[in-house]
């Protein structure tokens, strides 16, 4: 038996088959295993319980939901969600940021170690760490871009709380090439219109997305109350960003709406007379385009792109594009303008070359 600093009645020790020293309490033919080593809290509690003839229940340390150590990223995220800027966001933006923040907070600092970024102090974040995090999302560059924005929200909260003195992501650029959903071609539009007549749910969804330039979150909830048929306008409060748009009711859209019943609240309805959800509308469009024997890539959001392309090719300014489609970011609107301008300039330049070459040819 090993020496103890003081006598321990009924306590004995032994080495197990792994060579680890174990302790046990033996009295009146009853043996109780004592965990740990003498002097440790768990050992002392178990030994005292055995002396007193009661059962020892180990203390279980539970992590409270939402608990965060001071000055960590989890604590910073809690500050973000309590800020006026956060409360001003629309529900869709909040939901997207929550998903990204949760993914970052539960991301392992090192893939082979259980430590998560949520438990790390914001002050310990270095530029090399951020680059490593973004590199892990190399296959989804646009997600990486949005993730960086979300991480910066936590960094700014830490700056406000004076947990850090500088932003480790300052001047760090991460701008992947933007492609997104493509616009439909004229041939694809003709093919869809030939398959789905005016009055069908497919044609209605198509028309709302194309002639209003709406996202699916708005298309799914277009209501008859949005239309002023005397003034020939449509008033839309967008889900994303909460921006209010007053758009003209075009003859193309009026033609699509004319045969539809108006006894329900919503314009676009399922076969059961219920409005579509955002997710179901995406699936429905994929089904409708498949039935029309159309190629992949003809998406609902692609119709929004189609309107943007049409506007740009018709000479609409970037500002007009932004006000029609509800863009807050000029970069997105300029994508349409730049593409249309490139085609116009190239066409004009090649016409000049053609005229010059023809002028040099001898008559006859």
Q: What whole-number distance in Å separates Cα of residue 103 and Cα of residue 100?
A: 5
Q: What whole-number distance in Å separates Cα of residue 10 and Cα of residue 51?
A: 9
240 Cβ contact list (under 8 Å, min separation 6): 90, 92, 93, 215, 217
List residues bridging with 15 in a β-sheet.
21
In a domain, 84, yes or no: yes
89 and 227 part of one domain: no
The SS3 of residue 89 is coil
Give every residue of the chain whose pLDDT is below 70, as ranges: 1-6, 59-68, 175-180, 329-341, 343, 363-364
Residue bearing tokens 């066409």: 347
239 and 153 part of one domain: no
What value, to the nearest 5°, has the Cα angle with vertex 80 and ends 116 and 176?
A: 70
39 and 91 part of one domain: no
In a domain, 337, yes or no: yes
Q: What whole-number distance in Å separates Cα of residue 334 and Cα of residue 317?
A: 9
232 and 299 part of one domain: yes
What does the DSSP 8-state code read for residue 19?
Answer: S
Angstrom CA distances, 71 to 18, 61, 74, 164, stand at: 42, 22, 8, 9
190 and 338 part of one domain: yes
The total of structural domains in the chain comes to 3
148 and 232 part of one domain: no
CATH number assigned to the domain comprising residue 335:
1.10.443.10
Q: What is the pLDDT of residues 198-250, one digit of tens each?
A: 999 999 999 999 998 888 888 889 999 999 999 999 998 888 777 888 988 99
Region class of 293: left (phi > 0), else alpha (psi between -120 and 50), else beta: left
In a domain, 39, yes or no: yes
Q: By residue range, what is the domain housing residue 4?
A: 1-61
Q: Of 143, 160, 177, which closes a domain?
A: 160
133 and 192 part of one domain: no
Q: Of 22, 38, 61, which closes a domain?
A: 61
317 and 215 part of one domain: yes
In a domain, 127, yes or no: yes
359 Cβ contact list (under 8 Å, min separation 6): none
In a domain, 195, yes or no: yes
In a domain, 68, yes or no: no
* Of residues 205, 261, 263, 212, the one with CA closest to residue 238: 212
In a domain, 174, yes or no: no
36 and 96 part of one domain: no
Q: What whole-number distance in Å separates Cα of residue 184 and Cα of residue 212?
A: 15
117 and 250 part of one domain: no
Q: What whole-number distance in Å separates Cα of residue 169 and Cα of residue 159?
A: 12
36 and 81 part of one domain: no
In a domain, 168, yes or no: no
Angstrom CA distances, 97 to 77, 104, 161, 277, stand at: 10, 10, 21, 21
242 Cβ contact list (under 8 Å, min separation 6): 90
196 and 279 part of one domain: yes
Q: Of 102, 126, 160, which closes a domain?
A: 160
What does the DSSP 8-state code read for residue 70?
Answer: T
Region class of 294: left (phi > 0), else alpha (psi between -120 and 50), else beta: beta
**Whole-model pTM?**
0.55
């Amino acid at each position: 038996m090993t020496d103890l600093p003081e006598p321990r009645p009924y306590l004995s020790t032994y080495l197990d088959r792994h060579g680890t020293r174990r302790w046990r309490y033996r009295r009146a033919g009853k043996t109780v295993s004592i965990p740990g080593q003498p002097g440790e809290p768990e050992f002392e509690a178990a030994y005292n319980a055995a002396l007193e003839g009661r059962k020892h229940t180990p203390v279980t340390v539970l992590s409270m939901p939402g608990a965060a150590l001071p000055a960590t990223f989890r604590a910073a995220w809690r500050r973000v969600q309590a800020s006026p800027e956060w409360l001003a966001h629309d529900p869709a933006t909040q939901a997207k940021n929550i998903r990204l923040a949760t993914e970052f907070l539960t991301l392992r600092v090192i893939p082979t170690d259980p430590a998560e970024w949520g438990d790390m102090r914001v002050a310990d974040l270095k530029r090399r760490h951020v680059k490593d995090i973004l590199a892990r999302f190399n296959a989804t560059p646009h997600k990486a871009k949005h993730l960086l924005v979300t991480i910066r929200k936590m960094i700014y909260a830490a700056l406000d709380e004076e947990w850090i003195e500088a932003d480790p992501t300052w001047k760090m650029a991460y701008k992947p090439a933007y492609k997104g959903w493509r616009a439909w071609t004229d041939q694809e539009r003709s093919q869809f219109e030939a398959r789905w007549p005016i009055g069908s749910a497919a044609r209605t969804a198509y028309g709302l997305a194309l002639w209003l330039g709406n996202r699916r979150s708005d298309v799914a909830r277009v209501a008859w109350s949005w239309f002023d048929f005397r003034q020939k306008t449509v008033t839309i409060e967008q889900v994303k960003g909460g921006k209010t748009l007053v758009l003209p009711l075009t003859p193309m859209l009026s033609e699509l709406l004319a045969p539809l019943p108006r006894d329900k609240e919503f314009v676009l309805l399922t076969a059961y007379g219920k409005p579509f959800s955002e997710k179901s509308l995406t699936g429905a469009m994929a089904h409708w385009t498949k039935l029309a024997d159309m190629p992949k890539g003809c998406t609902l959001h692609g119709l929004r792109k189609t309107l943007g392309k049409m506007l740009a090719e018709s000479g609409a300014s970037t500002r007009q594009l932004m006000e029609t489609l509800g863009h807050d970011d000029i970069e997105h609107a300029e994508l349409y303008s730049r593409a249309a301008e490139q085609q116009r300039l190239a066409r004009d330049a090649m016409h000049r070359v053609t005229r010059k070459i023809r002028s040099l040819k001898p008559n006859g």
